[in-house]
Structure 1
Amino acid sequence: MSKRATLAPMSKIFNIPSGVGTSNTAEISVDDINNLNAVGKLDIVKNDGSSDCCTATVIGTNNGNIAMTAAHCLYDFNTQTWNYQVYFYPGYNNGQQGIVGKLTATRGYIFQTFEENPITYDYGFIKLDYPEGKRLQDDTGFFNYDLNILRDNYPVNVFGYPINGEMACPRDGQHLCEYEGLSFDMPPDVPNPQSYRAITIDVGECSSGGPWVRVYDPQTNTGNVMGVSHGILPEPYPDESAAWSWTSEEFTRLLNFAENN
């Protein structure tokens, strides 16, 4: 695995069809703000025209129009190409769009290292088309994030839109599902155990990129994102869902790059 100190951010402008943008720009009442609306479904069009799905989360930024997801939801390691189009539905649930409707991702941001090894640095950001002068996070709410990921075992709430796996929900890709349980360090006998966090279940396809939220409060829907779902790691890693465990320096570098490019 490449050394973290040599990381280089990279970005790509997604294809944006003429006339496609935010589908609901109506005025939104402050009473509608609910941070869980920050979690949403990603619809993806790949370069060969096939479709895919993931999960993303609006996080608090100066830009206000940035969501976090998995790098593999933006870049296809097998074909070594960026995905063609990415659409975001914050607050999507039970087959219904959220209060701001369908948003177009204009640009994606990941670390170049992901091109070399798809189980490393599997997180990234998307910048979203939103009406000029407005900020998405002001309308959907947002989650804060941890810069220094805690070690040892502690509870997390994991969200996503699975179409299979083991989350206790319909698992039809249309419902926002939640898993609550302990996250833990990888055993010391696997390569680079400090680079991952794990939970004991398979969160399922289309939950990729979904947030792992520490100190989640269900009354206020607040907490800190400390990872995004990567999926099941290959051997010799345990057969459990994993999230990449970033450092403060690397996360800040990629986010600053996204905000300023």
Structure 2
Amino acid sequence: MPTLERKYDIINHTVSVADVDQVQAFPIGMLFLPDGSTCTASVINTPESRTIGLTAAHCLYDNENHENFDNIMFSPGYDHRQQGPLNLIPVDEVIVPDEFINNNDDLFDWGFMRFTFNMNGHPLQDFTGALGWRFNVGEGVETTIRGYSEGGNLEDCPNDGETLCTWDGEVFMHEFYFVPALDLGEGASGSPYIMLYDPDTNLGWLYSTYIAYDDINDHANGPIYDPIQFQGLLGEIIGF
């Protein structure tokens, strides 16, 4: 699925066509959970719905109480302790793989959310832009990871959980997509692994999401999506 550049701005509560000189998208944002913790999430391109985000499953499903989290809020473009241009957007539906629900399986630690947003008939991704998505990209892929690292070891980042930080480098593959010696700490769960990232538009193709630091192997891990399962769950949440 290709990327989508943003089309509209909201200025003084009025929808206007985005300035061609300021068209940088902001599909990545902070996810606020009801227990006070945070994650990272991304708006992904879904022409059928255009209101769908992707993050780690543990940011959407409470394994301790065996239920979806309620009252999740999303702020696309959040940075430096400031809400993004659209402020807080409610999440009205989530879906994660059964393997995560039943077994808390890290290999399936990813999921979708649907946002409650409609501005004059325009869906969310028209204002934020959206990341494209791909499967089976192999290893040795030059990748950009963007998220809200807290307490990690990401260089050139305050690691304060409030700043949208960036890592660039090569990602490898075994059971997971992994980055050796990288710890993104708390708050970065759900951060997109992006290939062909364009810093001018802030867009690219998402192919995995950060789930955790593996302290035994000293790796930052991201799941390898199964294309059939991914598209099946995406179709379900679009159809809710």
- State the alpha-carbon separation in 2 of the partners of residues 91 and 209 from structure 1: 15
- Check conservation: 2:148, 2:188, Cα contact below 8 A: yes
* TM-score under structure 2 length normalisation: 0.87
Shift of 1:234: 6.8
Spell out, residue by residue over 1:123-166, the C-alpha distance to the aligned partner (whole angstroms, 9 max, x if none). 111111112622100001111000x2222212110011121111
SS across alignment from 2:104: coil
Q: Residue 247 of structure 1: which of 215, 226, 240 is its match?
A: 226
- Check conservation: 2:40, 2:147, Cα contact below 8 A: yes
Q: Which residue matches 1:73?
A: 59
Partner AA of 1:55 in structure 2: T
**What is the alpha-carbon root mean square deviation over aligned residues?**
1.7
- Check conservation: 2:144, 2:166, Cα contact below 8 A: yes
Spell out, residue by residue over 1:23-51, the C-alpha distance to the aligned partner (whole angstroms, 9 max, x if none). x954254125422x100001100xxxx32
- State the alpha-carbon separation in 1 of the partners of residues 23 and 57 from structure 2: 28
Q: Which residue matches 1:260?
A: 239
- CA 1:240/1:25 → structure 2, altered by over 3 Å: closer, same or farther? farther
- Check conservation: 2:150, 2:184, Cα contact below 8 A: no
Q: Residue 40 of structure 1: which of 20, 24, 29 is its match?
A: 29
Is 1:167 paired with 2:157? Answer: no
- CA 1:80/1:157 → structure 2, altered by over 3 Å: closer, same or farther? same
Structure 1 residues 94-133: aligned runs within 5 Å: 94-115=80-101, 116-131=103-118, 133=121
Shift of 1:203: 1.2
Shift of 1:212: 0.5
Shift of 1:218: 1.4
Q: Residue 197 of structure 1: which of 170, 173, 177 is its match?
A: 177
The answer for unaligned runs of 5 or more in structure 1 is 1-23, 187-192
- State the alpha-carbon separation in 2 of the partners of residues 178 and 259 from structure 1: 30
Shift of 1:247: 2.2
Structure 1 residues 209-224: aligned runs within 5 Å: 209-224=190-205
Query: Across the two proteins, how many residue pairs are aligned to each other?
Result: 222
Spell out, residue by residue over 1:2-29, the C-alpha distance to the aligned partner (whole angstroms, 9 max, x if none). xxxxxxxxxxxxxxxxxxxxxx954254
* TM-score under structure 1 length normalisation: 0.80
- State the alpha-carbon separation in 2 of the partners of residues 85 and 108 from structure 1: 11
The answer for unaligned runs of 5 or more in structure 2 is 1-11
Question: Post-superposition, which runs of at least 4 consecutive aligned residues in structure 1 deviate over 4 A?
Answer: none
Partner AA of 1:92 in structure 2: Y
Q: Which residue matches 2:39?
A: 54
- State the alpha-carbon separation in 2 of the partners of residues 117 and 67 from structure 1: 21
SS across alignment from 2:160: coil
